[in-house]
Amino acid sequence: MREPSENSSESSSFAACATIAPMSDGRVKVDLGRGSAVALVTLLPVWILLCAAAVYAVVDAEETMVAIIGGFFALFFSIPLVLVLFHLKKLLAPRGLLFDARGVHYWQGETWALLQWDAVAAVGIGYDQPPDLPALTPQDYLKDKIIDALIDRRRRIAIEIFPADLRAVELQPLLARYRRDGPAPAQGLPRTRWRVPLPPMGSLAASVANGVQGFRPERWLGWFERPKLPVS
């Protein structure tokens, strides 16, 4: 993977995709692909053990009620596990963000996109229901995923980048899959933003904060709860 250099030519304030050279000191990298891999290495063995324990309870049960309960929990734990395995390639894909004096870079594989700072209105970490702040641990993530997978998707913790100019949205095909619309979390921000899911690694959240505050502290929103849509 090649990274952006100070001498690369990206003239537009919302330049499209580019593949460029190694970063210099002071830049902040947020490796989302590696974060997902670390989280999976931590969580998958635990998840598999839970599934195995539930299956064993069914097989070894002498009472019908115990078998029913064991079967319920086997299903409870196996559905999210199957979904994770099904999307494994996407979860482990090389991708991430890099913050430097020019702006916010996003990479996916060997392809890069740049949002220069004058094209960024704000950056923050949004959620639907607050996690335990300031850190996200794999253990907390496992607990949340059990709830989120079969009850509701309450957390949805993600890096949210708000464009200063909505034309930037159309000029960023690499970020298109992250585009979301919803109520703005602060006055003056647009409804449209890029919402990039954040793996459960506390160091990644801290790196995002450091990256924004190190270069454009006035753009940092911090952690925020997404405004709810009005009930009609």
141 inside domain = yes
Residues 140 and 114 in one domain: yes
Residues 209 and 118 in one domain: yes
Long-range CB pairs of 103-106 (<8 Å, 24+ gap) are 104/161, 104/211, 105/3, 105/4, 106/174, 106/175, 106/196
Give the residue-averaged pLDDT of 79-94.
72
Residues 170 and 111 in one domain: yes
Residues 98 and 183 in one domain: yes
16 inside domain = no
Residues 150 and 189 in one domain: yes
- The whole-number pLDDT of residue 148 equals 45
Q: Residue with structure tokens 């930037």?
A: 168
CATH number, domain of 114, equals 2.30.29
- The whole-number pLDDT of residue 230 equals 64
Residues 197 and 150 in one domain: yes
Q: Compare 139 and 54 and report the one with higher pLDDT.
A: 54
- The whole-number pLDDT of residue 9 equals 43
Residues 134 and 188 in one domain: yes
Distances (CA, A) of 196 to 110, 157, 161, 208: 18, 9, 8, 12
15 inside domain = no
5 inside domain = no
Residues 148 and 49 in one domain: no
Judged by DSSP in three states, 12 sits in: coil
Indicate if the pLDDT at residue 8 is higher than 60: no
pLDDT band at residue 35 under the 50/70/90 scheme: confident
- How many domains, the chain? 2
Indicate if the pLDDT at residue 48 is higher than 80: no
166 inside domain = yes
Q: Compare 109 and 23 and report the one with higher pLDDT.
A: 109
Residues 80 and 162 in one domain: no
For the stretch 163-192, pLDDT in tens is 999 888 888 999 999 999 999 999 999 999
For the stretch 141-159, pLDDT in tens is 555 554 444 333 446 789 9
For the stretch 105-144, pLDDT in tens is 999 988 999 999 999 999 999 988 765 544 444 445 555 5
Residues 41 and 124 in one domain: no
- What rounded mean pLDDT belongs to the chain? 76
Residues 58 and 149 in one domain: no
Top-ranked range on mean pLDDT: pick from 39-53, 189-203, 213-227: 213-227
As a 3-state breakdown, the chain gives helix, strand, coil percent values, each rounded to 5, of 45, 20, 35
Give the residue-averaged pLDDT of 53-76.
76
pLDDT band at residue 1 under the 50/70/90 scheme: low
Q: Compare 46 and 195 and report the one with higher pLDDT.
A: 195
194, 161 contact by CB (below 8 A): yes
212 inside domain = yes
Domain residue limits at 65: 34-91
Indicate if the pLDDT at residue 14 is higher than 60: no
Lowest mean pLDDT among 24-38, 109-123, 128-142, 194-208: 128-142
44 inside domain = yes
Residues 107 and 219 in one domain: yes
- Sheet arrangement for strand 17-18: 17-18, 111-116, 103-108, 95-99, 28-31
Helix (H) or strand (E) holding 215: helix 202-215
Distance CA 52, CA 184 (A): 44
- The whole-number pLDDT of residue 223 equals 93
pTM summary value = 0.68
CA geometry: angle 199, 200, 204, nearest 5 deg: 70
Distances (CA, A) of 29 to 69, 163, 212: 45, 20, 11
Indicate if the pLDDT at residue 217 is higher than 50: yes
